[in-house]
Amino acid sequence: MKYIKNSFYLVILNLLLTPVAIAEIEILDYIVAVVNDDVIINSSLQIRVNQFEQKLRQKSKGKKMPPRRYLEKQILDRMILDILQLQVAKNTGIKINNNLVNAQLRQVAAQKGLSLNSFRQQLEAEGYNYRAIREQLRQEMVIKRLQQRQIVSRIKIRPREIDNFLANQIQQGNISTEYHIQHILIALPEAPSLQEIEIKKQKAESVTKKLKNGADFEATAVAVSDSRQALEGGDLGWLKPGELPRLFNKVINNMAIGDINGPLSDESGFHIIKLLNKRNSAQSVITQTKARHILIKTNALISDRQAKNRLNRLKYRIQQGEDFAKLARSSSKDTTSSINGGALGWVSPGDLVAEFEEIMNALSKNKVSEAFKSRYGWHILQVLDRRKHDNTEQALRTRAAKQIRQRKINEELQNWLLQLRAQSYVEYHLD
């Protein structure tokens, strides 16, 4: 799953579907899946299926719809994964408070030129369930934070990896190429037997043959793929070479647009890919940000709440006119930047940890952020300026690091979700 920069906005859009069409259908309630100590009921599943079908009709423009039973299975599997992740998040103490949810909703409302209150009134006037939207958004935020903690924060990129990647891409002549790919995964169970591997292999070969004989890739992905992108027809979007799974990178250069390749095998299962398009993405200008911050570290004497409250008080003093740099020198625990008033200088994409950079990129010039947590502690930060910077060599290395990082995230997340699913008790009751 690639990270979507504006995923919260997409969550809202996905939920803003005509409720009348759903209300007209009589839904029988019974349990369709047991997920450890939780259950999924049929009404919840059917509402999600109806929502997805409506989106699909708008997108497909008269194209034949996949059989409903395939959608039910794929959406139920997605709901099961969501519940499993929410269970892990609950057990590890991950919570998203109302202020953070409201802040994201304000961003969505601002994109529509509305205040949060006006946005809510508009939704409710049109018949939408604001509380349901809000709760779905909270769950998305919880899952994102869990994935950040379990996967993203643990990804490390070594300089040698970047060197090898750039050398390989220069040799192949595709350093600035992007690929638009569709993907089908026939997944293997955890610790599969030789018989299970052979059964999955035969299934993958049968699917590949049908695709090469003209079967619709998108409909086939919805029907049979075990990938997290199955409901999107297996569409992985535009990927740079470093973001591609290494398995795909071995064959992509020899594929023409429209070609289907597979099955390709690795520990997760058998993969089938189709090259939809490719393009050149050469770029040498990057956006640099000039920022400063104050860091409060937690320890045996300072809890998360105390660190956050201390930063909130510092932010209030800055808003009342006190000097940021002076407060950073006296309060920040970042020994490198505090002597310079918290100044980080001009930073390029990829220079800072992801959770810090995400807040920084969303912040307007001269604004002071809310207190937020990174792997180093709690921060407030201020963006002083931004500039376009032609830094070709460094830009190539930065983009390479981001591509390698994204590929590792995708691979680790896929494996973690498969392992989480295999280690959990899931019982299907779907007809």
- pLDDT tens-digit map of 51-63: 888 887 777 666 7
**What is the per-residue pLDDT for 62?**
66
CA–CA distance, 61 with 67 (Å, rounded to integer): 16
**Which whole-number Å values give the CA distances from 137 to 11, 15, 163, 406, in the listed order?**
7, 10, 40, 23
**What is the per-residue pLDDT for 306?**
92
Helix axes 194-212, 217-224, angle to 10 degrees: 160
**Which pTM value belongs to this model?**
0.57
Same domain, 358 and 419: no
**What is the per-residue pLDDT for 9?**
42
More confident residue, 251 or 398: 251
Same domain, 273 and 289: no
Mean pLDDT of 420-426: 91
Residue 400 domain-assigned?
yes
Contacts of 66 (CB under 8 A, 6+ apart): 56, 219, 222, 223
400 in Cβ contact with 9 (< 8 Å): no
Same domain, 44 and 57: yes
Per-residue pLDDT tens over the stretch 129-181: 888 888 888 999 999 999 988 898 888 888 898 888 787 776 665 566 789 99
CA–CA distance, 129 with 113 (Å, rounded to integer): 20
Bridge partner list, 239: 179
| Percent share of the chain, pLDDT over 70 | 88
Contacts of 324 (CB under 8 A, 6+ apart): 292, 294, 318, 341, 342, 368, 382
Indicate if the pLDDT at residue 30 is higher than 70: yes
Same domain, 290 and 402: no
**What is the per-residue pLDDT for 61?**
66
Indicate if the pLDDT at residue 5 is higher than 70: no
Mean pLDDT of 329-344: 93
| Model confidence band, residue 343 (pLDDT cutoffs 50, 70, 90) | very high
**What is the per-residue pLDDT for 235?**
92
SS3 readout for 96-116 = CCHHHHHHHHHHHHHHCCCCH
Q: What is the DSSP letter of 232?
A: G
Indicate if the pLDDT at residue 296 is higher than 90: yes
Helix axes 159-172, 392-422, angle to 10 degrees: 110
Same domain, 137 and 219: no
Q: Residue 145 is part of which domain span?
A: 7-150
**What is the per-residue pLDDT for 401?**
86
Same domain, 318 and 380: yes
Bridge partner list, 238: 180
| Model confidence band, residue 28 (pLDDT cutoffs 50, 70, 90) | low
Q: Which of 150, 176, 202 is the last residue in one of the domains? A: 150
| Percent share of the chain, pLDDT over 90 | 39
Residue 422 domain-assigned?
yes
Q: What's the total number of domains in the chain?
A: 3
| Model confidence band, residue 17 (pLDDT cutoffs 50, 70, 90) | very low
Same domain, 306 and 272: no
Q: Where are the alpha helices (DSSP H) in 6-94?
A: 7-15, 19-23, 42-60, 68-91
**What is the per-residue pLDDT for 10?**
44
Residue 2 domain-assigned?
no
**What is the per-residue pLDDT for 175?**
62
**What is the per-residue pLDDT for 166?**
80
Same domain, 104 and 33: yes
Same domain, 179 and 50: no
| Model confidence band, residue 271 (pLDDT cutoffs 50, 70, 90) | very high
**What is the per-residue pLDDT for 392?**
64
Indicate if the pLDDT at residue 14 is higher than 60: no
Indicate if the pLDDT at residue 279 is higher than 60: yes
**What is the per-residue pLDDT for 2?**
36
Same domain, 289 and 384: yes
Indicate if the pLDDT at residue 6 is higher than 50: no
Q: Kindly report the average pLDDT of the chain as a whole number.
A: 84
Per-residue pLDDT tens over the stretch 89-143: 999 999 888 888 888 888 788 777 788 888 889 888 888 788 888 888 899 999 9
Mean pLDDT of 394-400: 75
Mean pLDDT of 19-42: 72
Tokens matching residue 321: 């006119």
| Model confidence band, residue 389 (pLDDT cutoffs 50, 70, 90) | confident
**What is the per-residue pLDDT for 399?**
77
CA–CA distance, 367 with 365 (Å, rounded to integer): 6
Indicate if the pLDDT at residue 182 is higher than 50: yes
Per-residue pLDDT tens over the stretch 325-336: 999 999 999 989
What CATH number is attached to the domain comprising 362?
3.10.50.40
Indicate if the pLDDT at residue 88 is higher than 90: yes
**What is the per-residue pLDDT for 22?**
38
> In terms of Cα–Cα distance, which of 288, 284, 277 is closest to 176?
284
Same domain, 246 and 327: no
